[in-house]
Amino acid sequence: MTLAGFFIYLLAIYAGGWQQPSAAVSPAPDRNAFTFLNWRLDLRIDANLEALSARGTILLRNDSSQPQRQATLQISSSLKWAAIRQNGAAAPFTASQLRSDLDHSGGVNEAVLDLARPVPPGSTVELEVGYSGTISLDTTRLAHLGVPLDVRAATDYDRITPTFTCLRGVGHVLWFPVSLDPASLADGNRVFEETSAWAVRHSSSSMTVRFSDSQQPAFQTNAQMSRIEFSGSVRTEEHEWQHLGIAGPILIAGDYKSLSAHPQQAKDVGLHFRADHELQAQDYARVIQETVPTISGKAEFPTSVLELPEDSDSIFDADTALLTPFKTTDRKSLELAIAFLLAHQTLWSPRAWIYEGAAHLAQALERERQDGRAAAIAYMEQRLAPLTLVDSGDAQHLKSSSLVNSASEVYFRTKAMYVWWMLREIVGQRAILDSLAQYDPGADKEPSYMQRVLEKNSHKDLEWFFDDWVYQDRGLSEFTVSNGYARPSLQGIFLVSATIENKGGAAAEVPVIVRTESGSVVTRLRVPAHDKAAARIEVSSRPLEITVNDGSVPELDRTDNTTSVRIAKE
């Protein structure tokens, strides 16, 4: 479960009548005007004081259509701005506290600064920043909703302490400067929408973080490059994110021991655990060794599994890092988490539907390996309900809600997983795996790039599918089956026919299953949107009923997907 999913579950249980306090409304700058392209930060962390201090530079690009005279920078409410400079001179700014659940404290410290000159659309501005403060375990935002303390602490466990430090970034604790519109957990999915949109927008941004003589053990991160240098007794660490990915940058430190799951291989997975959990870590390493990656790309990113300190702490997927308690767990569930991790180990894409969707496909394929096709489809259907609520195919949102444009987790995780599964049914698993292995993020300059790679490997025209499911948001398919009829032949063969109708806005190639006295026969049929198609299937024993869609194509209502077969008189 993603943390967003866990929060939604909590809200369904605990959200009551709490309302965000009213405040005087004043004109606000455009907090979404600038995209943060790069952070270069020097951090000092004093674990004994639970303190963090930072200085460095950030590079912003004006992605709005208007020149910008102001910029906003936000950090956790427990941190304070010390200085902001532009072009070597102090930049005047006003700092204020804003109520926002995008930070675990329930608030952010926002600096609104006047820029030296207006920044035109498409231009960049570099700022020097300095800030400091403490980051303690803080569950204020969930306390506002009446969530019990033990549940709050197992969810919002970000903190700096001598024994464990965890900084997870946007949506958890704002340890680096960002700019987002304030959002409240009491306001539906607003927090998750803001967090998801920020992650997609900044997935290709970069960051470099340096630690000088930090009073902590070495940090573990999900960065693509890390190095540690010593000058006498002074330790300097540098972690570089060439792209932030969807999870964003995380920093973890603790009194860890380490082992390698694949010590002799380039594609290793490091495990970092408490000394008293070495046997559990070895068990986890064996599961990793025995989990064969199904999705592989061109890259080789550092990958790790990091132990959380409490058994009740919620698992967190951080792209190439998995944060989890090292406790006895269901092996199959662990294999699914590892399949997701291993997909991110080698496959990177700036397009969320490819990056996240393919990783979730890896989980579905792992579930199929474990217990068969029906189990994999059931696994996907567990995530279907939120998609059916939002994917209406509204004509006003054909482009903005499409997979190539959407910043919604429901789309780039759940819908993308189904899209990859349906593509696998159309072109075959070998073509899918080959295409992902050949995928080059540097060459992906336009939305049709992935389509062309798949068409080259499969020798099939996929324009119809990509147009309905990827480039446009035409909603979901919606099938019915009627007129089930069978005519026997003298050789004992039955020709079964039926009318398949797709009342939905997206065309699909769908399984059609005839259940007979001796088993089932499956064929596939492409059914255009808002249209009908005739199914013709030969079976060797008496047919009983015919079903369209076994759940592999997402649709809202499957209660009318089966009809009995009427046998013609011989």
Report, in this order, helix, strand and coil percent for the chain, each rounded to 5.
25, 35, 40
Residues in a beta bridge with 39: 58, 207
Q: How far apart are CA 333 and CA 63, in angstroms?
A: 41
Q: Do 3-10+31-255 and 479-567 have matching folds?
A: yes
Q: Are strands 68-76 and 34-46 parallel, antiparallel or unpaired?
A: unpaired
Tokens of 189: 């999915």
Q: Could you tell me the residue ranges of all domains in the chain?
A: 3-10+31-255, 352-471, 479-567
Measured distance between the N- and C-terminal CA atoms of the chain, rounded to whole angstroms: 55
Q: Are 215 and 320 in contact (CB under 8 A)?
A: no
Q: Are 125 and 60 in contact (CB under 8 A)?
A: yes
Q: How far apart are CA 342 and CA 541, in angstroms?
A: 45
Helix or strand or coil: residue 26? coil
Q: How far apart are CA 325 and CA 426, in angstroms?
A: 39
Superfamily of chain region 3-10+31-255:
tricorn interacting facor f3 domain (2.60.40.1730)
Within 10 angstroms of residue 493's Cβ, the number of other Cβ atoms is 13
Tokens of 332: 């199959």
Tokens of 112: 């609104």
| φ/ψ of residue 55, rounded to 5 | -145, 150
Low-confidence ranges of the chain (pLDDT < 50): 1, 3, 6-26
Superfamily of chain region 479-567:
Immunoglobulins (2.60.40.10)
Work out the angle at residue 432's Cα, subtended by the Cα atoms of residues 527 and 392, and round it to the nearest 5 degrees.
40
Residue length of the chain = 570
Contacts of residue 422, defined as CB under 8 A and 6 or more positions apart, other chains included, come to 465, 469, 508, 509, 552, 553
pLDDT tens-digit map of 412-465: 999 999 999 999 999 999 999 999 999 999 999 999 999 999 999 999 999 999
Helix or strand or coil: residue 495? strand
Helix or strand or coil: residue 172? coil
Q: How far apart are CA 407 and CA 184, in angstroms?
A: 19
Q: Are strands 270-273 and 257-260 parallel, antiparallel or unpaired?
A: antiparallel
Q: Are 514 and 520 in contact (CB under 8 A)?
A: yes
Helix or strand or coil: residue 196? helix
Q: How far apart are CA 163 and CA 217, in angstroms?
A: 9
Give the global pTM: 0.92
Cα separations (Å) of 89 from 1, 52, 63, 111, 319? Answer: 46, 24, 25, 16, 38
